[in-house]
Structure formats: structure tokens, C-alpha cells
């Protein structure tokens, strides 16, 4: 009798475990999505990522048949929003925006709680940041070649605005690689927001800016108050394509993504639905028109291609960060 009772209790326990297990719960959702999807944007409202993501989510929601609700969750170098995604249930109802710094750089620096990317599922890429090297129109150099000559004669006189630390941003890493190739030395000024950096360069407090192009900067370019010398990014501002990129000049690949990720171990049927929804969303006329208005390129990478890019770039960035941090440690001594 005791044996039968134990078997019954064990069977009940196994049934309860299976009933409430995530896999079985997700298996009961074959028509995913059957409710709204939460989407975390790890930056403040009004920024470039926020501006680009919202029309995309609206378009994708139409194809999936459920709204995708954007929630701004800034802070911690975008890690707060990232952790909200990573810690969510892997059922497809929590997704988020991911960018180059938080996904490709900061795991190597200790600036985010995750040291690798195993807690995330990369879903797709829809754009990349356009990052020109910008100076004021009254700068003593008119071309990139003239700037290099000037920088060699004036070590560390160039004050470069960055959206964070040198070793914690794609901009800082690309410029450090440039320093090694051209044997020049720059001074880096971190900024918390693009508005502060724009004010600093217009006011002459910094001599060079690499934050990235956005609508507030475009009038100053068109009016000739700011000048592009080169591009850190492969992508360029429409109408200003004649300036060379670091990849063209030096073979330096700018680590950049603007994509979508979710928690790790998303089930296959969820991924297939998201693949289809986002592939259609990036072709939506409302989304592409918005991207054109803010001078942002549509750079679509499906899940396979995005994962290939991340797997290729992530370790390379890690090696660069390691060398850069070693140099920074020596400079402090």
C-alpha cells in the first residue's frame, strides 16, 4: 500500500511539474502571439534608437496580429533594459532593442552584469548607427589628411566627444585602433547624452565629435557650421557619401548593430513567427519613410546573418578591449 501511495504521489508530482513547466506552457501557445508583446528600449525617449524602433514595432505588430508595446528603460549604460530582457520568461512576450555598445563591447569591460551573450537570443538587425567624425567649420583642418598632420604636431590637443568611455564604446575602440595605425594621441571626453555633446562642439569645448548623426545635428551640417571629415561607420549620411570610412581608410570595422533580441532559449515556433513578422516589418512603407526622414539606413540582417556577424565581431572586440585597457592601465601609472 505504501508503495502504491508513493507511486501515486510521484505520478501526481511529475504531472504537476510537467503542467507548470515553461516548455509545456509554451507548447500550449501554438498560435503565438496571442497577447501583446512587451518591448524594452534601453534608452531614453526621443533618441535615435527610440525613434527608429517605434514605427518598426507598429509595423511588425500588424503582421503578428498583436501590439508590441515599447517601454523605455534607460540606465546603467543600457544594461537595465538588457537585464529586463535577459531575465524574462523565454516565451516570446518580452523582447528588446540591442545596440553595439551593450551587446558587443560592454560585456568585455565589466560595465554590464553579463559577461557573455548566452542569456540572449538575437532575432534580427534593422539598422546601424551612422557615425561621422565631425568638427566645427572653423577647425584648422579641412580634410582627414590635414587633421592627421595637425594631430601629429599637436599630441592630445584633439578633444573627442564620446557617448561613454573610450574602452566601453565602439567609437572609442575604433579611434584607438586609428591612433595605433597613424601614431597619434587624442584626448577623450565622455558624454551622457547626444545633446550635451552637440552643445559642447558648437560651443568649442571639444574639437571633434563621434556621437552619431541625428535630426538635431542635420541642420548644422546643412548650414555648414559642422563639417564631416570621415566616418567611423560603414554607413553614411545621404548627400555626404564622399567622405571615406575607417573601413575604407584602415580596414577598421566599426562594431555596430541596431537590432532586436530576446531572452535565451526562445522556442523555435516563436523564432519562426518573429522572423516572419520582422522581415515584413522592415519593408513597411511607414517604417522606411521614417528612417529616411531621420537619415538612418535600413540594414536588415535576419537571425542567421545577425548571429554570424555577432559571432565574428564579438571576440575581435574583446581582444581590442583587452589591449586598450592594458594601455589605459599603463597611462594611469
Q: Mean pLDDT across the chain, nearest whole number?
A: 90
The answer for 77, left when phi > 0, alpha when psi is -120 to 50, beta otherwise, is: left
The CATH 3.40.190.10 domain(s) of the chain lie at 132-253
Query: 288: exposed, middle or buried (C-beta count within 10 Å: 0-12, 13-18, 19+)?
Result: middle
* Cα–Cα dist 23/291, whole Å: 38
| Distance linking the first and last C-alpha atoms of the chain | 76
The CATH 3.40.190.150 domain(s) of the chain lie at 36-128+257-322
DSSP 22-78: HHHHHHT-TT--SS-EEEEESS-TTSHHHHHHHHHHHHHHHHHTS-EEEEE---GGG
Hey, what CATH class is 132-253 in?
Answer: alpha beta
- Note the pLDDT tens digit of each residue in 206-257: 999 999 888 889 999 999 999 999 999 999 999 999 999 999 999 999 999 9
DSSP 75-129: -GGGHHHHHHHHTS-SSSSEEEEEEHIIIIIGGGTTSSS-SSSTTEEEEEEEE--
Of the pLDDT bands very low, low, confident and very high (cuts 50, 70, 90), residue 27 is low
Of the pLDDT bands very low, low, confident and very high (cuts 50, 70, 90), residue 9 is very low
For residue 6, what pLDDT is reported?
47
Give me the architecture of the 36-128+257-322 domain, per CATH. Answer: 3-Layer(aba) Sandwich (3.40)
Global confidence as pTM:
0.85
Return the residue matching grid coordinates 571639444.
206
Amino acid at each position: 500500500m505504501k508503495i502504491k501511495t508513493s507511486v501515486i504521489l510521484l505520478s501526481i508530482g511529475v504531472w504537476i511539474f510537467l503542467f507548470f513547466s515553461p516548455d509545456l506552457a509554451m507548447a500550449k501557445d501554438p498560435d503565438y502571439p496571442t497577447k501583446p508583446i512587451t518591448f524594452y528600449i534601453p534608452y531614453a525617449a526621443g533618441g535615435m534608437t527610440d525613434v527608429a524602433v517605434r514605427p518598426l514595432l507598429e509595423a511588425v505588430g500588424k503582421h503578428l496580429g498583436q501590439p508590441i508595446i515599447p517601454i523605455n528603460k534607460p540606465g546603467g549604460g543600457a544594461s537595465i533594459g538588457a537585464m529586463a530582457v535577459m531575465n524574462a520568461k523565454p516565451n516570446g512576450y518580452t523582447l528588446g532593442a540591442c545596440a553595439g555598445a551593450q551587446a558587443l563591447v560592454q560585456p568585455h569591460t565589466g560595465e554590464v552584469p553579463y559577461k557573455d551573450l548566452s542569456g540572449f537570443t538575437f532575432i534580427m538587425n534593422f539598422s546601424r548607427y551612422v557615425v561621422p567624425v565631425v568638427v566645427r567649420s572653423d577647425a584648422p583642418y579641412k580634410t582627414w589628411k590635414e587633421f592627421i598632420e595637425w594631430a601629429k604636431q599637436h599630441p592630445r590637443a584633439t578633444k573627442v566627444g564620446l557617448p561613454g568611455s573610450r574602452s566601453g564604446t565602439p567609437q572609442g575602440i575604433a579611434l584607438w585602433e586609428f591612433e595605433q595605425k597613424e601614431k597619434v594621441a587624442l584626448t577623450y571626453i565622455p558624454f551622457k547624452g547626444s545633446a550635451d555633446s552637440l552643445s559642447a562642439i558648437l560651443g568649442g569645448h571639444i574639437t571633434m565629435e563621434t556621437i552619431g548623426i541625428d535630426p538635431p545635428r542635420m541642420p548644422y551640417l546643412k548650414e555648414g557650421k559642422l563639417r564631416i571629415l570621415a566616418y567611423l561607420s560603414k554607413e553614411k549620411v545621404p548627400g555626404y557619401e564622399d567622405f571615406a570610412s575607417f573601413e575604407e581608410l584602415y580596414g577598421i570595422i566599426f562594431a555596430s548593430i541596431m537590432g532586436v533580441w530576446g531572452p535565451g532559449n526562445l522556442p523555435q515556433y516563436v523564432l519562426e513567427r518573429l522572423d516572419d513578422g520582422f522581415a515584413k516589418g522592415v519593408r513597411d512603407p511607414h517604417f522606411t519613410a521614417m528612417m529616411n526622414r531621420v537619415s538612418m539606413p535600413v540594414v536588415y540582417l535576419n537571425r542567421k546573418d545577425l548571429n554570424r556577424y555577432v559571432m565574428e565581431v564579438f571576440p575581435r572586440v574583446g581582444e581590442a578591449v583587452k589591449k586598450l585597457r592594458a594601455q589605459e592601465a599603463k597611462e594611469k601609472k
